[in-house]
Structure 1
Amino acid sequence: MVDITETALIVLTHGDWGEKLVTGAETIVGKMRNVRSFPFFPEMDFSDYLANVNQAVEDCGQKCIILTDLFGSSTSNVAGILSRNHQCLAFSGLNLLLLINAYELRKERNEQIVIDQLLTTAAKDLRCINREIELAEVKRNKE
């Protein structure tokens, strides 16, 4: 049974890594409810893919958050089309942290809070590990 107070999450990726990402997230947050993943493969017809994802969005019967892997690609184009025709927020740049944060925000009703928090998460998550290590060593040496 779907909890209608929870916004559905739709994951759109090239290949099946989105399904694997959901499985990985479940090792951290437990079983994820109301999350669907749609892989897009080169041999697939764009119109068919759009129709399948559109049906899933309509089946949600409520707002949804669509997470895609690559801005400007087929998956984000589908998200863009659906976000104009349905009550969906669409984001590209999918990664594990973004998926988990979107899942945790699914009960938030203020769309601007969701947008701001997910964009902030994405901006903070990209880091140069080498630089982080160097900064930590400099800090440790100063102490």
Structure 2
Amino acid sequence: MNSKPWIIIITHGTFGEELKRSAELIIGELEDVYCFSLLAGMESKALIEHIGSQLTDAPRDSIFLTDLYGGTPSNIGAYFAKKDGYSVICGVNLPMLIEAQTRRSLGEWEGIEDKIIEFGAEGIRNITKIIKERKGSAC
């Protein structure tokens, strides 16, 4: 069994796959990052079965990143959290994925959930407000 934690992304549509591609443009190839997409007309049960079949070698300290709290992808993540003890964080964004990969590559996985959430939230900024506050000063 692989001992390196996996990052498992579940999203509506192909958002997760595109998120992974975007992260790879910035930090290079992401290994052991798996994306699962809930597509139009897809039954959640079918997606659960598909994900479950892929998790047979996943380390238990792997983490699920999902898009929308209360949405089907997050509910599927919650299913695996309850069933197998995985951690699940919703609201995935590019800074969160990059932080998870960076921490994992440095071997800093302990307490990763809070670090991912903090980093993701720090990436949310009102640029218009920042520009107005800096008006007249050098950037």
Note whether the superposition's TM-score is higher than 0.5: yes
* Unaligned 5+ runs, structure 1: none
Q: 1:26 to 1:3 in 2, by over 3 A?
A: farther
- Deviation, 1:3, is 5.1
* Unaligned 5+ runs, structure 2: none
Q: Which moved more, 1:55-64 or 1:114-123?
A: 55-64
SS at match of 2:68: coil
SS at match of 1:49: helix
Paired residues of 2:5 and 2:59 also in contact (CA < 8 A)? no
Aligned: 1:108 with 2:108: yes
- Deviation, 1:55, is 2.2
- Deviation, 1:37, is 0.4
Quick one: which of 40, 55, 58 aligns to 1:57?
Answer: 55
Paired residues of 2:12 and 2:73 also in contact (CA < 8 A)? yes
- Deviation, 1:48, is 0.8
SS at match of 2:65: strand
Q: Report the counterpart of residue 90 of structure 1 in structure 2.
A: 88
Q: 1:88 to 1:108 in 2, by over 3 A?
A: farther
Letter in 2 for 1:108: E
SS at match of 1:108: coil
Q: Report the counterpart of residue 135 of structure 2 in structure 1.
A: 137
- Deviation, 1:56, is 2.3
Q: TM-score under structure 2 normalisation?
A: 0.88
Paired residues of 1:64 and 1:87 also in contact (CA < 8 A)? no
Aligned equivalents of 2:132 and 2:35: distance in 1? 38
Aligned equivalents of 1:95 and 1:51: distance in 2? 25
Size of the aligned set, in residue pairs, is: 136
Paired residues of 2:5 and 2:61 also in contact (CA < 8 A)? yes
Aligned: 1:19 with 2:21: no
Kindly report structure 1 stretches of 4+ aligned residues shifted beyond 3 Å: none
Q: Report the counterpart of residue 43 of structure 2 in structure 1.
A: 45
Q: TM-score under structure 1 normalisation?
A: 0.86
